[in-house]
Structure 1
Amino acid sequence: GLGRDNQIKILSELHFPHSLGLLYSAFTYYTGFKVNSGEYKVMGLAPYGRPVYRDLILSELMDLKEDGSFRLNMNYFNYCAGLTMTNAKFNRLFGGPPRKPESDVTQRDMDLARSVQDVTEEVMLRMAKHIHRETGQKNLCLAGGVALNCVGNGKILREGPFENIWIQPAAGDAGGAVGAALFVWHQYLDNQRTADGQNDFMKGSFWGPDFSRDEIGRYLQNKNIPFEEIPDRDIPEKVADLIGAQKTIGWFQGRMEFGPRALGGRSIIGDARSSQMQETMNLKIKFRESFRPFAPSVLKEKVSDYFDLNRESPYMLIVAPVKENIRRQMTKEEQSYFGLDQLHVVRSVIPAVTHVDYSARVQTVTEETNPLYYKMIKAFGEKYGCPVIINTSFNVRGEPIVCTPEDAYLCFMRTNMDYLIMGNYLLNKEDQKPLDRDINWQKKFEND
């Protein structure tokens, strides 16, 4: 589509069932993960594998054209009429049945993930080049579930013809609410659209609930929860010192994020310099698969010092390579590792956020959008020489991101987080009493 002023004109479209997102979801199902939830696991698993099935996908499952349009061979899929994504013919093509959920991830699963990821990137890049040839525009906007594939987004940015790309922060189905409202407001009712050519108007995607200092304080006092009250001016340095001491901290500040990414409103944070932090946070706090990478939050003005990225990525939707000069040279033995054996190799000065292919899903932070989060990262950088921290969503596997002070406290107590900062209130795990009559929370939420 082409957007001008307050109107969008559709130039071309693909129709169900020929969907890149559904192809990706089919492989999500086949590799044993939950459809409409586990696609990002496939993306995270892909760098551990090799694209051995890429040509098979392109020859048997998909008729891909030069302009990025395609048709799927529906003889291999079951999602139109059945209760599964794939069928017996798909199983025969790829040498066996789908992986059982929660079973061991094999090299075959990693190779399948890598193969469908490579195909997805190829389709995205062809589409981007075609759109540029047809329109001559310099700016590209992306939305839809596939636009959450931040590896593909990064490839379009690096190898595509557009000067700028922008991805809606709630690019999946949830963002359709924004699109529908804006479409009616501008295109149907013909209201004026204002834009300054530099900033988006999503306000950092902080559209969720906020809780005042008094509301948080009342909750803690009513529950007799021990805390230390910290003045506003002291929060950045206090939290920076906790990160520097290798503590994991729940960060609950301001309005909640709209979309699937934690952006410094409801985050769990830690030290990106730690070689142990990724495994610690995955297994002891998030209770999720060890292969899943964590994302860095970095000051916007420092992003090019650590990543091959020269622009903003405020919504954590662009993957970029870690800079060559901060990478660690691997030994011959380390270079020979395959699969999950690659996980424990230290690859850079920020190993906790450096994936096995030397990539990172970057979030840039500005003082204008999130001043307290910015000041905390800046304080950490000034004191410890690294303006980069780990940022992951404040939840455990299968649970929604925490919204309220009670959500945050319960998640904090049920995991091995060391500290929780909610507004001005700092909670030390060592000061807390065990939860009284807690539910079996790991059974409350279905694994994603």
Structure 2
Amino acid sequence: MTNILGISAYYHDSAAALVRDGDIIAAAQEERFSRKKHDSRFPSAAIAYCLREGGLDLAGIDFIVFYDKPLIKFERLLETYLAYAPKGFRSFLAAMPVWLKEKLFLKTTLKKELARIANVKATALPPLLFAAHHQSHAASAFYPSPFEKAAVLCMDGVGEWATTSVWLGEGNRLTPLWEIDFPHSLGLLYSAFTYYTGFKVNSGEYKLMGLAPYGEPKYVDVILEHLLDLKQDGTFRLNMDYFNYATGLTMTNGKFDRLFGGPPRKPESPLAQREMDIARSIQAVTEEVILRLGKTIRQESGCEYLCLAGGVALNCVANGRLLREGPFRDIWIQPAAGDAGGAIGAALAVWHEYLDKPRKVCNTDRMRGSYLGPQFSETDIKHYLDSMGASYRRISDAELFPEVARLLSQEKVIGWFQGRMEFGPRALGGRSILGDPRSPRMQSVMNLKIKYRESFRPFAPAVPVERVSAYFDLDRPSPYMLIVAPLKEEHKISTTAEQERLFGIEKLNIPRSILPAITHVDYSARVQTIDRDTNPRFHALLCEFERQTKCPVLINTSFNVRGEPIVCSPEDAYRCFMRTEMDYLALGNFLLAKTDQPPGEKDWSWQKEYELD
């Protein structure tokens, strides 16, 4: 039996993963334990959880692997500063102390941290290996996928040098084909527009994607003429005269501001039509790049299947178009496509490539629905609730599913805490907040009173996999909420000529379908399919909701408030429940009504706990 511990840390979204004989046993992000969103620190708590889940201590680990090669990254940093000198000297001075203190000697830092966890000398630790950043992404995409042979596309901000890389996956081998290097990066281009429209880089990109349908693609030609030299084959170069990220402390510069008619939007200030049009334009350009790259990869590799990872692979609108319009029979996207997933990829790379072990392929995939985090026993939950003086009913499954379905049909909002926590940025029915998608007021209620977030942001539908094609133009599973698909024509509501003339955020409150709370302004939805095998409890609830209402779809959004990581423990869930206007909480088989609880926090100072994302 071979146990491999994968670690991602020190940039953003630190995580740990345990792989045993090629099977993913456990994986979790550090943020879920530390309660600091996108926590980049050494993932001590995530490692401790993985070891607990695997029933071993660090002495039982055969190999530890880091998802990145810091010395090559340092080489890129130095070469970039030399290439742009004397520009960027301030940025150089800001970056150097961190590198010289921690990152340049990362092997020593990692060994110190691991020795502290194990309470042993560094010399007693298992062998420490390093995988390349895009190798970790590619491994996380291909090895758990359901394909025996596939092309792999990795796109992110930047790894060591690569920003876009293409691989051929076959059996237990990944062969690099070609790459585009820093500073030419589709991920950083998208992040530059995230910054410019007033959202936070490395966390607000999905807001830019959600904002895009409210705008018009007015700036596509400007982007393609001035910022991005896009070739017919999908390869590209950026005009660095407009960007500051290679040498400065911001993403864009004054020349960029002049091109788009003003300075970046101040965070939290009102959104104007300009921001919506800019969002739509960069989204359209991103989709075009990905579609062109898809055609090229298909021609060059001859592969009928494509796997995706890297932060750009979280762009589920582009993924949906690639699936519908691209040249591949099917695509598979790593659910933790960002840096957190690199922990899984690095561990799988050691198993299959370093140790040359064969790969098992199954019909679905080998991510276990991404339910790879901690779960809590009934005893754990009861003990915590009793310690808080909480009022609850313990009911059987036979009562729980009909009761929760009935409450949902009455427009109640319910916290749903069941089984193992999800790995990756999406709540997939383990740590979710649920609502009735038929309600025209539910999107507004859940955004403003539960999540405390921007009103324009859409919610995702969850639907049993066997019922998905009855509601959406999608003929296959989408278990990880990474595909946007159009609603079926028969469920749409036609808009009037007057409504068609509305612009921007005015479009928000027009009901567009029989499921208004999950239908975006362009009649699309970010679909999650629920499988009876991977999440039997959520599947049972959806089926019961359909039995009562004739609708098999529920709103599924992450169990947290804005700026807070998704809840991990019963304590996190109860605290979030009490701080919001959620109506009920289902913690395993314990059902809690808000009106029955002891008084919660009287003031709202807790909102300062979480930095806005």
- Hey, what does 2:388 align to over in structure 1? 223
- Hey, what does 1:249 align to over in structure 2? 414
In the alignment, structure 2 segments of 5+ residues that lack a partner are 1-166
Deviation track 1:201-252 (CA, whole Å, cap 9, x = no partner) reads 1000001110001100010011111001111222211111111011000000
Aligned pairs (5 A) from 1:224-239: 224-239=389-404
- Hey, what does 1:34 align to over in structure 2? 200
Q: How far has the Cα of 1:137 moved from its partner?
A: 1.0
- Hey, what does 1:262 align to over in structure 2? 427
**3-state DSSP of counterpart to 2:537:** helix
**3-state DSSP of counterpart to 1:220:** helix
Matched, 1:102 2:268: yes
- Hey, what does 2:517 align to over in structure 1? 352
Q: How far has the Cα of 1:46 moved from its partner?
A: 0.1
Matched, 1:341 2:506: yes
The structure with the largest alpha-carbon Rg is 2
Deviation track 1:21-61 (CA, whole Å, cap 9, x = no partner) reads 10000000000000000000000000000010011101110
**3-state DSSP of counterpart to 2:179:** coil
**3-state DSSP of counterpart to 2:357:** coil
Contact 2:579 2:601 in 1 (8 A): no
Matched, 1:200 2:365: yes
What is the aligned counterpart of 1:147 among 303, 313, 321?
313
Matched, 1:156 2:322: yes
In the alignment, structure 1 segments of 5+ residues that lack a partner are none
Task: Please tell me the residue identity of whatever aligns with 1:183.
Answer: A
Matched, 1:48 2:232: no
Task: Please tell me the residue identity of whatever aligns with 1:84.
Answer: T
- Hey, what does 1:413 align to over in structure 2? 578
- Hey, what does 2:36 align to over in structure 1? none
Whole-angstrom CA distance in 1 between matches of 2:387 and 2:177: 58
Matched, 1:18 2:189: no
Cα distance, 1:437–1:338 mapped onto 2, change above 3 Å: closer
What is the aligned counterpart of 1:381 among 546, 567, 577?
546
Task: Please tell me the residue identity of whatever aligns with 1:64.
Answer: L
- Hey, what does 1:274 align to over in structure 2? 439
Q: Give every structure 1 segment of 4 or more consecutive aligned residues whose post-TM-superposition deviation is greater than 6 Å.
A: none
Whole-angstrom CA distance in 2 between matches of 1:279 and 1:327: 20
- Hey, what does 2:338 align to over in structure 1? 172
Deviation track 1:148-198 (CA, whole Å, cap 9, x = no partner) reads 0000000000100101000000001111111111111111110111103x2
Matched, 1:300 2:502: no
**3-state DSSP of counterpart to 2:411:** coil
Task: Please tell me the residue identity of whatever aligns with 2:229.
Answer: D
- Hey, what does 1:4 align to over in structure 2? 170
Whole-angstrom CA distance in 2 between matches of 1:193 and 1:344: 49
Deviation track 1:369-398 (CA, whole Å, cap 9, x = no partner) reads 100000000000111010000000000000
Cα distance, 1:364–1:440 mapped onto 2, change above 3 Å: same
Root-mean-square deviation (Å): 0.9
Whole-angstrom CA distance in 2 between matches of 1:233 and 1:438: 38
Whole-angstrom CA distance in 2 between matches of 1:265 and 1:240: 16
Q: Percent identity?
A: 64
Matched, 1:135 2:308: no
Normalising by structure 1, what TM-score?
0.99
Deviation track 1:416-437 (CA, whole Å, cap 9, x = no partner) reads 0000000111110001122258
Task: Please tell me the residue identity of whatever aligns with 1:4.
Answer: E
Cα distance, 1:439–1:282 mapped onto 2, change above 3 Å: closer
Deviation track 1:84-111 (CA, whole Å, cap 9, x = no partner) reads 1000010011110000000000000000
Task: Please tell me the residue identity of whatever aligns with 2:325.
Answer: E
Q: How far has the Cα of 1:335 moved from its partner?
A: 1.1
Task: Please tell me the residue identity of whatever aligns with 2:457.
Answer: R
- Hey, what does 2:55 align to over in structure 1? none
Deviation track 1:103-137 (CA, whole Å, cap 9, x = no partner) reads 00000000000000000000010111100001111
Contact 2:389 2:598 in 1 (8 A): no
Task: Please tell me the residue identity of whatever aligns with 1:261.
Answer: R
Whole-angstrom CA distance in 1 between matches of 2:181 and 2:577: 44
Task: Please tell me the residue identity of whatever aligns with 2:372.
Answer: W
Matched, 1:402 2:567: yes
Aligned pairs (5 A) from 1:283-298: 283-298=448-463
Deviation track 1:325-378 (CA, whole Å, cap 9, x = no partner) reads 110011111111110000000000111000000000000001101000000000
Cα distance, 1:216–1:128 mapped onto 2, change above 3 Å: same
